[in-house]
Amino acid sequence: MWIAIAALNLALAVMLGAFGAHGLKNYASTEQLAWWHTATEYFFYHAIGLLALGIIAKVIPQLPIKISFSLLQLGIIIFCGSLYLMSLGAPRFFGAITPIGGTLMILGWLILAWNAFKYSK
């Protein structure tokens, strides 16, 4: 299941990246395109991270990944989603929730690190 979710994230990241590069460039401002680019970059990085977590879950099934995976996924939705929405013309106050998504991503990685340290003992 984890790998399938990661693969869906990666497919969506490709689609959104292509849309930003080809469909949005004639309609969006430079600032909106920069937001789109940032959202897509972070989407890819964290979707690859989700894929790695899915693989880790197969290789080291004792290592708990559910919380990290969930936080990363929610972080992608909030961080990238808010930037995508602003890129499409949503009010700038959506930028106020962007850091919440980033914080969730950070927490996901820190919890993975914590669990990896505990597992290695």
pLDDT of residue 120: 81
Query: Does residue 25 have a pLDDT over 90?
Result: no
Q: Are 16 and 43 in contact (CB under 8 A)?
A: yes
pLDDT of residue 26: 85
Query: Does residue 37 have a pLDDT over 90?
Result: yes
pLDDT of residue 77: 98
> Both tokens of residue 107?
């927490």
pTM of the complete model: 0.93
DSSP alpha helix (H) spans, the chain: 2-18, 30-59, 66-75, 81-87, 98-120
Average pLDDT over residues 35-47: 97
Q: For residue 51, which of 76, 24, 84 has the smallest C-alpha distance?
A: 76
